[in-house]
Structure formats: C-alpha cells, structure tokens
A = this chain, B = another copy of it.
Amino acid sequence: MCADSTKNRILWFDELSMPEAEKAAKNGKVVIIPCGSIEEHGDHLPLATDSIQAEYVALGVARKTGCLVAPSLRYGLCNSTRNFPGTITITFDTLRSIMTDILEDFVRNGFKRLLVITGHAGGSHMTAIRLAAKKVVINHMKEENRPRIIVCSDYDFAFDLKGVEFDERDSHAGTIETSRVMAIRPDLIKGKGAPNYPNFPRFEITPDPEKYFPSGVMGDPTVAAAEKGQKINDYVIEQVVKLVKELEQ
C-alpha cells in the first residue's frame, strides 16, 4: 500500500497522523473504502484481481477529488468460485460484521460521508455490504448530521459498456476484467486465457458451481487489451468522482 506515498498529498487515510485525521474529519472529507477478494480469475489473472481494480479506482478518484482512501479490505465473500484453488473466502456474517464495524467507527470519528467500492460484485457479497451500510444509516437516522453512505461496485459502471464494445455475456475474468488489469498491473498477467461462456442453471442452488466453468472464466479474455482497459478504468473513475461529489454536497 505504498502507492503515491511520496507525492505531495496523502491519499491513504491511514498514512495520516492523529491530528491530520482529526482535521480531515472536521473538514468533512469523504472516505472511500475499497474492497476486493482473493479469488481465482482463470489461469491468466491474479487472485487479487478484484482488489487491484477497486484500489486503482479509489486512488484515481482520490487524486481527482481530494477525498481519502481507507485501507483496502482484500478479504471478500466468494460463493461461486469458492471451490477453485486460490480462492480464500470469508463468511457472509464476517463480511457484514467487519463492514459494519468499519463504517460505524468512521462515523464515530466524525466521518459522515462514506463510499464503499468493491471490485468483487457477487450477490451475497454485495448484500452483506449493503446490510452493513443500512444498519449504520438506520442507527444514526435520528441525529442531526446524519451519515450518508454509498455502496457500489466498479462493475456497476464497467458493465455499462457491455453491448457496445463488449459481449453482453462478458463477465468474471473476461474481456473487460482482463483489459482492466492489463492497464493497471501488466506485470501480473500470465498468458492470454481462453474464451468460455458457461451456462449456469438459473435457479438451482448448487454446492459445486465450479463444474459449470472448469476454467474459472466467464467471457473471452483473448480479445482483451490494455488500451481498452484504460478507457474502462477512466470511465469508472469518472463515474465514481460524480458520486463523491454528490456526497460532498
């Protein structure tokens, strides 16, 4: 987490000293909390893929808006990829608890404008984070200066671009995700991957979903490219900048 530490301005919340943190709270600084996961992303992408993207976006937004970035929570909840090698998942209750604790404690410190951005966007992972946020805003809803919390995934924006430049079915470790990591951390790309468009049962809850996509890929990583990724990343940053500005109002 050393990125940008030598720059003029501190982006990471926890690189502040105590008096600086106190001042930031008084100034109403927005704090972004990036989340990721440790999850297989095919043979060609690192386990940290989700974290890398969320942190990149968070830092990009911080540079443009002057907000702060809390330490990334790189441990997330992975249901469909749990049984693949390399996936390290925490439980729903743990994720909800730690997110509740973190949000609640930022509010206790006087930070009332919070934005959670998660690079991992699985259904129950998102619900755990949203329930945590919901609990915190309800806890404080009768206070004069109510906290405001936004929860989003960078894929809420990245997938806006599907249908235009990218296949509608593109998803986990596919063209978009591979392109994005190529733009951020090309040194971590291993090979090209292989296209795969799995058919999951729409409604059955299975204990072993990996059997439907043994390569761990949903989409076509072979047509990924760093320039495509850069454009997506820029677009996502731009969208999240808008959300931060909403919070600053």
Chain A residues in contact with chain B, CB under 8 A? 1-3, 5-6, 12-22, 25, 38, 40-48, 51, 55, 70-75, 79, 84-94, 97-98, 101-102, 105-106, 109-110, 123-124, 127, 130-131, 133-134, 137-138, 141, 146, 148-152, 156, 185, 187-188, 190, 202-208, 216, 243, 246
Contact = CB atoms under 8 A, between A and B. Distances in A.
Given A19-B85, A75-B98, A90-B102, A141 B14 contact: no
Contact of A17 (B1, B17, B38, B47): B47
19 contacts: A1-B48, A1-B51, A13-B38, A14-B46, A15-B46, A15-B188, A16-B46, A18-B84, A18-B85, A38-B71, A51-B71, A75-B102, A87-B109, A97-B97, A141-B207, A146-B207, A150-B203, A151-B203, A156-B202
A86 B109 contact: yes
A205 B134 contact: yes
Contacts of A71: 38, 48, 51, 72, 74-75
Identical chains in the assembly? 6
Contact of A12 (B19, B48, B87, B207): B48
Contact of A190 (B17, B25, B91, B92): B17
Main secondary structure of the interface of A (DSSP, over half): mixed
A123 B130 contact: yes
Contact of A152 (B70, B131, B203): B203
